[in-house]
Amino acid sequence: MQQGKKPTRLGLMPALLMALLTGCAGVSPSYSSLPAPPPKILPLPAAARQPTIPSECLPTCSKGLTVERESWLSTPTPLASPARPVNEATIP
């Protein structure tokens, strides 16, 4: 081989093939089969907690609001009135 001459792609193929084969020949690492510990659920900080419900709030108020909201969702929206016919003067 002369100095300054670059190797061709055909000359690099055996080296690439050997690199690929040796990479696949290795033994895969074995992983531990021990189960992971369950995640810890930490309590919320005081600023993130919901305030206590005041005594004037009754459970029936919340239930009544829920029933009314569900009735809004089940009520279909009114159909739009039909459009007026196109004025012939506006047609080119």
Quote the tokens at residue 46. 């005081």
Given CA atoms 24, 30, 33, 37 in this order, what sign does their dihedral have?
Answer: negative
Quote the tokens at residue 76. 């279909």
- Which whole-number Å values give the CA distances from 30 to 8, 27, 33, 34, 67, in the listed order? 39, 9, 9, 12, 57
Report the distance separating Cα 23 and Cα 17, nearest Å. 10
- At 25 the pLDDT is 64
Per-residue pLDDT of 1-56, as tens digits, reads: 455 566 677 778 888 888 877 776 666 666 667 788 899 999 989 898 888 877 77
Mean pLDDT of the 58-71 span: 80
Query: Where is pLDDT greater, at 77 or 48?
Result: 48
- At 45 the pLDDT is 92
**What three-state secondary structure class fits 58?**
coil
- At 88 the pLDDT is 63
- At 69 the pLDDT is 84
